């Protein structure tokens, strides 16, 4: 990879140099050995005499990725290879760790500097070194930066045999005085272990302990104490990391890469075989950021890995026909944050973390957030394409990943994630409109923001792995999960108490509203409507409060009172994520009082806005009932029920079963007996027990009887009568039907 374009690039350099030499015989042509043309070319035996080669990363004394390269990519091999290609001394270009970009590791490595510089003497004519050197260079990070500069400069003198150890011991003695022995032990430990301190808390703590011993040997006000204070200030990042290492990541989702994401063309269409057959382990859906519930507008994600690139396919559901909120007009445009966008947050095994945001138009803004910094100059080099459809928009993105740390301003730095060294990531979406905003994430943070690193999900390639996790924090997500579980088990007194306690805690208004809304549901189930109404009054978000009030009135069968209060409510002005609930509640009230036209209007508007499969079924059921009961339009009602029959999700719910039976009933009434029976048989009712295990075959038998198929009807009734898994009342209904048929007490056929 590091020599992929070497022949091409260096042949061009060589030809240019040859021409320049003709007109400017004393001029030199300098070119960097960098990226995909780092390795020496194979098609050139000797470069033109006026070509000077500058090797980027020709020493690499401090390399966070661990390995400095193997074989021909190793620094010593690179230098030897290029020396053979030119008669001119080479140049070395190095990026030392940038403290202003978040570097915090105590990589005090004097011997690495000394040995690598000695190795270049006699073949190098100099170096170009970059490090943090802003206006605050004399104060910020100086405890570390001076160390690199000091040993680099000292090692330039003294020839190939310059003794770094002598310089090192002299430095510790003269610079730290009474703390000489202790600071020497600290530096020795750091040089041997700094790389592991990002993952190993014991080594991080030992480093800090050794430094503390050095501090105790000096007076803080002495020159030696003040010098130690500079290092002490630099070690703040290491202390923060040690604290983070002591906090195990709690239970978070995971996404597992499976197989190679081959033959992907970045066009936003998501029509490649890999995406269409993407393994379930590599797919996921986003949930609402603060509560973890399903968002109003869903988002699905898929991931893949191929040849040092990570791929994501993202589909964002939308309201059909609605214009997207396009904030950005060009890459790195801050306006992106004010419109619709998806953010990809990547923490690799060696870098925390990168932020890549994409708008529906395909503009991209990428940021390196290492060490709580915001490095806007960083460029992910991602290839991205988007497509906008009527009811959704998509993102297809390829993010190149490199292990080479020599260019920190380009590409994601890391290795392919594994179970032993996983990455952590999140994919988040913001949908912003004039009437509200919705935020969702693959791993909800339980806060108002995306940037919660300890909430990032596990991301790895390999066998399915269960990662060790700390006990869940008692945050909103966890306490809400416990309360919801109580409600699901029918323990509504306990659930109500739990939801109210959540709302009284340190939560956002959005979370408080969600908790009190759930508490009110439990109160209504307990028929404690007075309590439910008091809860509604405490809800801080007006639209949620009004919705709960409407549900409380419906629960008490006070539809007319609801209409009197909310009949002219401008629900369309509510936050878009709550309008469906408002239209749903008011539509059911209109249906209850017999106002079919207003019910149809509200219920169909709600149907356009819901994305949750269960809510979709419930609304279609309400629409069908209204069309039958109030509008007296069985054909339109059948259309609603037929939509329910086509559902792909929640097909084991009571609402789905009622929809199937209602569709079959209307078909039977219209004389379409075969259609009715075929519809009923879409449910594998032979595997059902209880009420549904009886009602389905009873309705089939009734339909057969209406169709004049007496013997088939008798056989079906008898199957119900003999089924001990259905209620006794239904077995009796079947027995009575059999008796009435045989005694001629029931009409057969139309």
Between 403 and 700, name the one with better pLDDT.
700
> Residue 534 — pLDDT band, cuts 50, 70, 90?
very high
Give the DSSP letter string of 416-476: ---SSS-EEEEEEEEEEETTEEEEEESS--SSS-S--GGGPEEEEESS------PPPPSSH
Element at 239 (helix H, strand E): helix 236-245
**What is the reported pLDDT for 749?**
60
**What is the reported pLDDT for 604?**
98
CA distance 247 to 241: 10
- Measured over the CA atoms of residue 263, residue 268, residue 273 and residue 279, the dihedral's sign is positive
CA distance 685 to 687: 5
CA distance 649 to 661: 17
Contact predicate 384/362, CB 8 Å: yes
The predicted-structure confidence for 418-445, as pLDDT tens digits, reads as follows 887 789 999 999 999 999 999 999 999 9
Contact predicate 684/721, CB 8 Å: no
Give the DSSP letter string of 310-348: EEEEEEEE--TTPPP----SSTT-GGGGGS-EEEEEEE-
Q: What angle do CA 33, 37, 38 make, to 5 degrees?
A: 45
CA atoms within 13 A on the CB side of 416: 14
Mean pLDDT of 131-150: 90
CA distance 142 to 230: 7
**What is the reported pLDDT for 572?**
96
Element at 392 (helix H, strand E): strand 392-402
Q: Nearest CA to 438 among 291, 603, 586, 301?
A: 291
Q: Nearest CA to 130 among 177, 92, 78, 182?
A: 92
**Residue 640 predicted with pLDDT over 80:** yes
Query: Any idea which of 131-145, 442-456, 496-510 has the lowest mean pLDDT?
Result: 131-145
> Residue 668 — pLDDT band, cuts 50, 70, 90?
very high
Q: What is the mean pLDDT of the chain?
A: 94
Match domain 254-461 to its CATH number in 2.60.40.1190, 2.40.10.10, 1.10.579.10, 3.90.400.10: 2.60.40.1190
Kindly state the percentage of the chain with pLDDT values over 90: 83
The predicted-structure confidence for 497-527, as pLDDT tens digits, reads as follows 999 999 999 999 999 999 999 999 999 999 9
Q: Which phi-psi region, left, alpha or beta, contains residue 630 (left: φ > 0; alpha: ψ -120 to 50)?
A: alpha
Element at 426 (helix H, strand E): strand 423-433
Residue-level length of the chain: 750
Contact predicate 115/83, CB 8 Å: no
**What is the reported pLDDT for 227?**
97
**Residue 66 predicted with pLDDT over 60:** no
> Residue 284 — pLDDT band, cuts 50, 70, 90?
very high
CA distance 555 to 219: 74
**Residue 374 predicted with pLDDT over 80:** no
**What is the reported pLDDT for 595?**
98
Q: Which two tokens stand for residue 629?
A: 């009961």
Q: Nearest CA to 337 among 372, 388, 374, 310?
A: 374
**What is the reported pLDDT for 100?**
79
The CATH 2.60.40.1190 portion of the chain extends over: 254-461
CA distance 661 to 657: 6
**What is the reported pLDDT for 106?**
96
Q: Is the pTM of this model over 0.85?
A: no
Q: Which residues, at least 6 apart from 458, have a Cβ–Cβ distance to it below 8 Å?
A: 252, 253, 254, 255, 422, 424, 465, 467
Q: C-alpha distances in angstroms, 640 versus 482, 659, 682?
A: 36, 9, 17
């Amino acid at each position: 990879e590091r020599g992929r374009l070497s022949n091409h690039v260096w042949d061009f350099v060589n030809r240019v140099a040859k021409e320049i030499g003709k007109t400017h015989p004393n001029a030199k042509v300098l070119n960097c050995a960098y990226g995909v043309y780092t390795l020496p070319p194979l098609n050139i035996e000797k470069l033109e005499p006026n070509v000077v080669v500058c090797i980027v990363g020709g020493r690499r004394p401090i390399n966070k990725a661990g390995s400095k390269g193997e074989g021909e990519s190793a620094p010593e091999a690179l230098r030897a290879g290029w020396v053979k290609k030119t008669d001119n001394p080479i140049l070395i270009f190095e990026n030392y760790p940038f403290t202003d970009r978040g570097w915090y590791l105590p990589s005090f490595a004097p011997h690495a500097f000394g040995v690598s510089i000695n190795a270049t003497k006699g073949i190098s004519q100099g170096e170009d070194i970059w490090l943090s050197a802003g206006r605050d260079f004399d104060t910020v990070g100086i405890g570390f930066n001076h160390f690199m500069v000091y040993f680099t400069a000292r090692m330039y003198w003294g020839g190939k045999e310059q003794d770094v150890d002598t310089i090192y011991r002299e430095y510790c003695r003269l610079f730290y005085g009474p703390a000489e022995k202790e600071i020497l032990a600290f530096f020795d430990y750091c040089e041997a272990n700094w790389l592991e301190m990002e993952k190993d808390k014991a080594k991080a703590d030992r480093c800090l302990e050794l430094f503390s011993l050095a501090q105790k040997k000096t007076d803080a006000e002495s020159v030696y104490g003040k010098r130690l204070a500079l290092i002490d200030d630099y070690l703040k990042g290491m202390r923060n990391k040690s604290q983070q290492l002591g906090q195990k990541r709690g239970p978070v989702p995971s996404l597992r890469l499976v197989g190679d994401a081959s033959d992907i063309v970045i066009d936003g269409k998501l029509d490649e075989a890999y995406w269409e057959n993407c393994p379930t382990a590599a797919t996921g859906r986003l949930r609402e950021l603060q509560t973890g519930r399903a968002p109003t507008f869903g988002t699905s994600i898929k991931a893949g890995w191929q040849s040092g690139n990570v791929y994501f396919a993202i589909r964002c559901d939308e309201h059909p026909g609605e214009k997207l909120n396009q904030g950005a007009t060009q890459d790195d445009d801050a306006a992106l944050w004010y419109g619709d966008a998806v953010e990809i947050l990547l923490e690799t095994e060696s870098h925390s973390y990168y932020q890549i945001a994409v708008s529906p138009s395909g503009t991209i803004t990428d940021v390196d957030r290492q060490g709580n910094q915001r490095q806007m100059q960083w460029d992910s080099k991602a290839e991205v394409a988007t497509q906008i459809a009527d009811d959704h928009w998509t993102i297809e993105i390829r993010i190149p990943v490199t292990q080479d740390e020599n260019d920190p301003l380009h590409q994601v730095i890391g290795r392919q994630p594994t179970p032993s060294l996983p990455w952590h990531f999140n994919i988040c979406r913001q949908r912003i409109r004039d009437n509200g905003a919705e935020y969702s994430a693959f791993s909800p943070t339980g806060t108002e923001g995306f940037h919660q690193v300890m909430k990032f999900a596990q991301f790895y390639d390999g066998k399915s792995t269960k990662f060790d996790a700390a006990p869940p924090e008692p945050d909103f997500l966890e306490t809400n999960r416990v309360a919801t579980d109580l409600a699901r088990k029918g323990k509504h007194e306990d659930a109500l108490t739990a939801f109210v306690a959540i709302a009284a805690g340190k939560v956002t208004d959005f979370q408080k509203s969600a908790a009190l809304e759930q508490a009110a549901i439990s109160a209504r189930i307990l028929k404690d409507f007075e309590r439910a109404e008091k809860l509604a009054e405490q809800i801080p978000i007006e639209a949620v409060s009004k919705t709960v009030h409407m549900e409380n009135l419906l629960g008490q069968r006070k539809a007319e009172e609801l209409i009197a209060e909310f009949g002219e409510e401008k629900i369309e002005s509510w936050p878009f994520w709550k309008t469906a609930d408002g239209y749903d509640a008011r539509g059911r009230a209109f249906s209850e009082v017999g106002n079919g036209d207003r019910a149809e209007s509200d219920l169909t508007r709600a149907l356009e806005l819901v994305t949750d499969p269960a809510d979709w079924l419930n609304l279609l059921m309400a629409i069908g009932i209204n069309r039958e009961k109030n509008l007296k339009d069985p054909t339109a009602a059948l259309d609603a029920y037929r939509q329910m029959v086509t559902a792909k999700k929640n097909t084991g719910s009571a609402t789905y079963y009622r929809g199937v039976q209602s569709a079959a009933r209307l078909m039977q009434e219209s004389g379409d007996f075969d259609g009715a029976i075929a519809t009923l048989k879409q449910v594998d009712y032979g595997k059902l027990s209880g009420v549904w295990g009886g009602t389905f075959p009873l309705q089939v038998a009734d339909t057969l009887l209406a169709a004049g198929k007496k013997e088939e009807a008798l056989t079906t009734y008898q199957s119900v009568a003999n089924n001990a898994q259905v209620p006794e009342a239904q077995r009796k209904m079947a027995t009575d039907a059999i008796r009435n048929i045989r005694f001629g007490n029931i009409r057969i056929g139309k």
